[in-house]
């Protein structure tokens, strides 16, 4: 159900941004990298929308769709274990604000997390998930990854966290 | 004409995603789709291009349809606000992550400006000729904003019928404005 216009447009935008980043940022980013290491992830626009703090720890929220990613420390990029990531999205079970679509998971020893949910469906015009790191040790980050296609059965979001 | 407006609405009613949405979201979404469909008839009524009706009658319909479109906008925004206040507020403040909301909210404001212009034409002391030009310009913002808004959204509308309706809406607006403001004056001058 994807519109061609949207795909081409988002491709052009991301390709454009990527080339600008490569052209303009090459020397700068390598210097920044040498000085302070891996930069922390910035919160995304709209990332905290319909957040319900302290979503319960869950085994799974549904079947067939995976929200996954990694959590690392800013600077040295070390994987962070036992970090709580809160996840919510509009799925076939209901809207983004429905409690059954909110859950938390912990990262493993390798800093990876994954949560099985019901199929994410487009909400407010885009199929997307919400993820939050919102605990004491690091600065809060809200992410809102968009799926390239509503038929996708997984979505990935990676966190690089800066100390609070 | 009626068919061109109704088919996209009907196809959207069969969207599998509707099953996962609440009533406010469904009603708000369909108000948007109906508003888009009404934009097809609106300029043609203004120009008297629809066959079978007297121009005066078409003008009256044009005025009523204008209020209907504003009502559709209100229900659209209201339904979305009930569904997700933070997403709707972000859109209205032009800080949403989705570019289509910028086009949608711009079209909404252009619609409101149109209503104010209609209601206050005499009070503002605008000459009719000037007023028509301003009205045409603002109406084009409504149409272009709405069309760009709609085509970027992954929602209940079936893509082919959505693109077809959007192309038709754009064509109707451009034909009307170009016809009334460019072609007709040239013809008059040539005959002059």
Give B97-130 pLDDT, tens digit per residue: 999 999 999 999 999 999 999 998 888 888 988 9
Contact A122 B17 (CB under 8 A): yes
Interface of A with B in 47-106 (CB under 8 A): 48-50, 90-97
Residues 6 or more apart in contact with residue B102 via CB below 8 angstroms: B94, B96
Q: What is the pLDDT of residues A49-91, one digit of tens each?
A: 999 999 999 999 999 999 999 999 999 999 999 999 999 999 9
Cβ A104 vs Cβ A135: under 8 Å: no
Q: What percent of chain B has pLDDT over 90?
A: 82
Q: How far is CA B159 from the centre of its chain?
A: 18
Contacts for B7-11: CB closer than 8 Å, 24+ residues apart = B7/B161, B8/B33, B8/B36, B8/B37, B8/B157, B8/B158, B8/B161, B8/B162, B8/B164, B8/B165, B9/B33, B9/B34, B9/B37, B11/B157, B11/B158, B11/B161
Nearest CA in chain B to A10: B152
Residues B84, A50: C-beta atoms closer than 8 Å: yes
pLDDT value of residue B184? 86
- pLDDT for res A15: 54
Is A1 near chain B, with CB under 8 Å? yes
Contact B98 A124 (CB under 8 A): yes
Q: What is the pLDDT of residue A53?
A: 97
**Bigger pLDDT: B149 vs A7:** B149
What is the CATH code for B2-191?
1.20.120
The enclosing H or E element of A102 equals strand A102-106
The gap from C-alpha B99 to its chain's centroid, in whole angstroms, comes to 18
Residue A18 in this model has a pLDDT that exceeds 80? no
- Given B20, B90, B151, which is nearest A3 (Cβ)? B151
Check CB contact of B94 with chain A, cutoff 8 Å. Answer: no
Positive/negative CA dihedral, A19, A21, A23, A24: positive
Residues A143-159, mean pLDDT to the nearest whole number: 98
Q: Which residue of B has its CA nearest to A147?
A: B154
Tell me the average pLDDT across A123-150: 98
The mean pLDDT of B142-155, rounded to a whole number, is 98
Tell me phi and psi for residue A72, to 5 degrees: -130, 165
How confident is the prediction for chain A on average, in pLDDT?
87
Q: Can you tell me the distance from the alpha carbon of B43 to that of B96, in angstroms, rounded to the nearest whole number?
A: 30
Q: What does DSSP assign to residue B21?
A: S
Please answer whether residues A88 and A128 qualify as being in contact, where contact means their C-beta atoms are separated by less than 8 angstroms.
no
| ipTM score of complex | 0.91
């Amino acid at each position: 159900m994807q519109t061609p216009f949207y795909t081409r447009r988002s491709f052009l935008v991301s390709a454009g941004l990527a080339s600008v980043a490569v052209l303009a940022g090459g020397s700068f980013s390598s210097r920044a990298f040498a000085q302070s290491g891996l930069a922390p992830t910035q919160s995304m626009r709209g990332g905290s929308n319909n957040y319900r703090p302290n979503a319960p720890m869950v085994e799974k929220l549904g079947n067939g769709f995976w929200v996954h990613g990694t959590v690392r420390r800013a600077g040295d990029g070390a994987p962070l274990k036992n970090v709580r990531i809160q996840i919510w999205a509009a799925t076939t079970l209901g809207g983004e604000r429905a409690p059954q679509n909110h859950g938390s998971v912990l990262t493993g020893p390798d800093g990876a997390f994954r949560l099985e949910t019901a199929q994410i469906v487009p909400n407010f015009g885009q199929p997307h998930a919400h993820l939050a790191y919102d605990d004491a040790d690091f600065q809060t980050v809200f992410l809102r990854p968009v799926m390239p296609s509503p038929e996708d059965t997984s979505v990935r979001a990676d966190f690089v966290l800066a100390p609070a | 004409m009626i068919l061109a407006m109704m088919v996209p609405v009907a196809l959207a009613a069969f969207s599998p995603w509707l099953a996962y949405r609440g009533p406010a979201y469904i009603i708000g979404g369909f108000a948007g789709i109906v508003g888009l469909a009404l934009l097809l008839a609106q300029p043609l009524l203004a120009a008297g291009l629809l066959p079978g009706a007297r121009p005066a009658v078409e003008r009256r319909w044009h005025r009523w349809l204008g209020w209907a479109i504003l009502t559709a906008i209100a229900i659209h925004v209201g339904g979305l606000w009930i569904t997700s206040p933070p997403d709707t507020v972000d859109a209205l403040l032009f800080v949403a992550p989705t570019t289509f909301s910028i086009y949608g909210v711009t079209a909404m404001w252009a619609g409101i400006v149109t209503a104010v212009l209609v209601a206050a034409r005499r009070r503002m002391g605008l000459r009719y000729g000037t007023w028509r030009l301003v009205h045409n310009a603002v109406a084009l913002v409504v149409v272009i904003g709405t069309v760009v808004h709609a085509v970027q959204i992954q929602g209940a509308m079936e893509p082919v019928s959505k693109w077809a309706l959007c192309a038709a809406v754009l064509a109707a607006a451009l034909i009307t404005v170009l016809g009334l403001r460019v072609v007709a004056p040239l013809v008059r001058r040539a005959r002059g």
